[in-house]
Structure 1
Amino acid sequence: YRATRKSGRTVVVGLTPQNTDWMKVPPADLVLLGKEVVGTLYGHVNPRVDFPYLLQLYRAGRLKLDELVTKTYRLEEINQGYADLLEGRVIRGVILFDEAARS
């Protein structure tokens, strides 16, 4: 936040640990310097428009998502997936469902 320029915006893009329920922001910065602090979920996209477009890019090979997955898990391995996440062994784990589970 201190690196935010005058009239600049700080965007909070992630959640903090559960026991953190506050942020330290000097009120004078907001009033006198015109700084803003805002939160975002999914980058403020319009899901009805943007998700189909992103899917189209992915299917065309123009949006690389598979490279972001560090490990995959079967549904019965979900507890291990959570344990790996909490221990910092994975960054992005994905649960794979078989065809029978989808119907």
Structure 2
Amino acid sequence: MNTDLETLRGLAHLARLEFDPAHEEQMLTDLNKILDWVAQLEQVNTDGVAPLVHLSQEVNVLRDDKAHNTVTHQEGLRNAPRKDSDYFRVPKVLD
């Protein structure tokens, strides 16, 4: 399968890419090589081959999530530069 410069320019427009004319020929050559490689892959007989779902048979063993407070409310406010009883005080950001 081969493409021409007009097809390359159309694809570049759709992908919002810009090629200078000096590099269009190189891009066209590379695109044709990619399409030839894909055509070769289409010729491979995959009958009886199970689809690959995971790259390895390894299974992640994760711990159960348990919600608990590690820092008390007072400890969280202890190092705050400005606080107001139970809350952090921050500069106003909206008018």
Give the alignment's TM-score, normalised by structure 1.
Answer: 0.23
Give the alignment's TM-score, normalised by structure 2.
Answer: 0.24
Kindly indicate which of the two structures has a greater share of residues assigned to strand.
1
